[in-house]
Amino acid sequence: MGDSRSSRYKLLGISGSLRRASASTAVLRAAAERLPPDVELSIASIGELPLYNEDDRRPETIAAVNELNRAIDNADGLVVASPEYNHGIPGVLANAIDWVSRPGYESVLKHKPVLVISTSKSPLGGARAQLYLRELFAATLSRVIARRQVVVGAAPSKIVDGRFVHEPTLAFIDDAIADLLDEIAVFKARPLEPFRGPLRQNRYVSR
Ligand SMILES: Cc1cc2nc3c(=O)[nH]c(=O)nc-3n(C[C@H](O)[C@H](O)[C@H](O)COP(=O)(O)O)c2cc1C
């Protein structure tokens, strides 16, 4: 991982799996180790978040949610690696996204560039979870990058001594991260200027 003071690009990794031997987390760790010096990827912790409940105003809940919100806000882009669970995504990941997706359409996820990686034991590589995640991020107005999808099949077999070592997959992920950085660079060079005029009425923005 790079030094946050000198990094030009800050990426935040979010794993959909909390288990120690997670292939999804191992993919993120391996990708982080291969980044050039001006790019850093740190991994968020989402396991401490309580189940989403709008009524939960406990200080520890607010602190945990704020911490994740801040980490996302400070990141130029997200790399989300998740297993497929029951043709969808793990509840822990859905829960974390629910927390940081508020206020609706105005959250830290809005306009955030996102690279999605799905993992699975099966050869399908969690392709259904990948589609599900794309739809879920669309609801938060984040920008899942358009590129060949990163779908990691037979993921546990690509781990040796806790490290994800499958070079062809890692090279493909290097390319995907380069695409994410390209998208971020374009965005940094030309920040979004809202189009003004009669087309924009923002009727559906709830505040
Ligand atoms: C509750 C549960 C449901 C699962 N459902 C699916 C599934 O629908 N499709 C699939 O390909 N794999 C499924 N799996 C297998 C996981 O994708 C596989 O165990 C994956 O490696 C776990 O990710 P991790 O190594 O990052 O923890 C399921 C696993 C669990 C625990």
Ligand 1: residue of 17, 22, 86 to mutate (most ligand atoms within 8 A of CB) is 86
The pair of structure tokens assigned to 116 is: 């999605």
Q: How far apart are CA 158 and CA 175, in angstroms?
A: 19
pLDDT given at position 3: 46
Q: What is the pLDDT of residue 204?
A: 56
CA distance 16 to 90: 6
Q: Quick one: pLDDT at residue 2?
A: 41
Q: What is the distance, to the nearest Å, from the Cα of residue 156 to the centroid of all Cα atoms in its chain? A: 21
pTM of the model as a whole: 0.93
pLDDT bracket for residue 207 (50, 70, 90) = very low
Average confidence score pLDDT of the chain: 93
Provide the pLDDT for residue 196.
Answer: 77
Encode pLDDT of 44-81 as tens digits.
999 999 999 999 999 999 999 999 999 999 999 999 99
pLDDT at 138 over 60: yes
Q: What is the pLDDT of residues 24-33, one digit of tens each?
A: 999 999 999 9
- What does the pLDDT read at residue 57? 97
Q: Is the pLDDT of residue 82 over 60?
A: yes
Q: Is the dihedral of CA 169, 83, 17, 89 positive or negative?
A: positive
The pLDDT tens digits of the residues spanning 174-190 come to 999 999 999 999 988 88
| Ligand 1 nearest-atom number relative to CA 126 | 11
Q: Is the CB of 164 under 6 A from ligand 1?
A: no
Question: Measured in angstroms, how far is the CA atom of residue 11 from the centroid of ligand 1?
Answer: 25
Å from CA of 121 to ligand 1 middle = 7
156 lines ligand 1 (CB under 6 A): yes
Q: How confident is the model at residue 7 (pLDDT cuts 50, 70, 90)?
A: confident
